[in-house]
């Protein structure tokens, strides 16, 4: 994996966000955290083409959901790997999730997220 594989993690729960950041960093990724959908949209607008993957909670504070963040990200990069993590909205993934994404229901083992992100990135790399 290249030394600077940038992953945007959107999670409003500090403990889960920090855990994802630590595990993904240990997995060789560079992590940028956003704690709301609005912040994530701003970050994507600033440098969305630099992200190798997006990990987003679905239920976020404010008006922008994880569904919205992923759709916006895909407008910038239509092949960006997306991993959703959610406790309450997993049942909506089939109708609201972006194509070729994965969803891990909460609670989950943090290692699952690292494996899922790696799998998504590797699938995208081999597809292009």
- Predicted structure pTM score: 0.92
- Quick one: pLDDT at residue 93? 87
- CATH level 3 topology of 5-127: Rossmann fold (3.40.50)
- Quick one: pLDDT at residue 88? 81
Ordered by start, the domain boundaries in the chain are 5-127
Return the exposure string of 39-70: e unless at least 16 CB atoms fall within 10 Å of the residue's CB, then b.
bbbebbeeebeebbbbbbbbebeeebbbbbbb
* Residue located via tokens 């504070």: 61
For residue range 70-99, list pLDDT tens digits in order.
999 999 999 999 999 988 877 888 889 999
**48: confidence class by pLDDT, cuts 50, 70, 90:** confident
Average of per-residue pLDDT values in the chain: 91
For residue range 12-41, list pLDDT tens digits in order.
999 999 999 999 999 999 999 999 999 999
List 9's β-bridge partners, or say none.
33, 55
- Quick one: pLDDT at residue 1? 43
Q: Is the pLDDT of residue 127 over 80?
A: no
- Pair 82, 101: CB distance under 8 Å: yes
């Amino acid at each position: 994996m290249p030394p600077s594989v940038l992953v945007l993690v959107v999670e409003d729960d500090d403990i889960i966000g920090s855990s994802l950041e630590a595990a993904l960093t240990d997995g060789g990724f560079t992590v940028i955290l956003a704690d709301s959908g609005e912040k994530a949209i701003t970050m994507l607008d600033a440098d969305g083409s630099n992200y190798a993957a997006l990990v987003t909670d679905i239920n976020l504070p404010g008006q922008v959901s994880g569904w919205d963040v992923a759709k916006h990200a895909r407008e910038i990069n239509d092949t960006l790997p997306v991993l959703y993590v959610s406790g309450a909205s997993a049942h909506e993934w089939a109708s609201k999730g972006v194509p070729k994404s994965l969803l891990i229901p909460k609670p989950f083992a943090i290692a699952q997220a690292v494996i899922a992100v790696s799998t998504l990135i590797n699938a995208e790399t081999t597809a292009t």
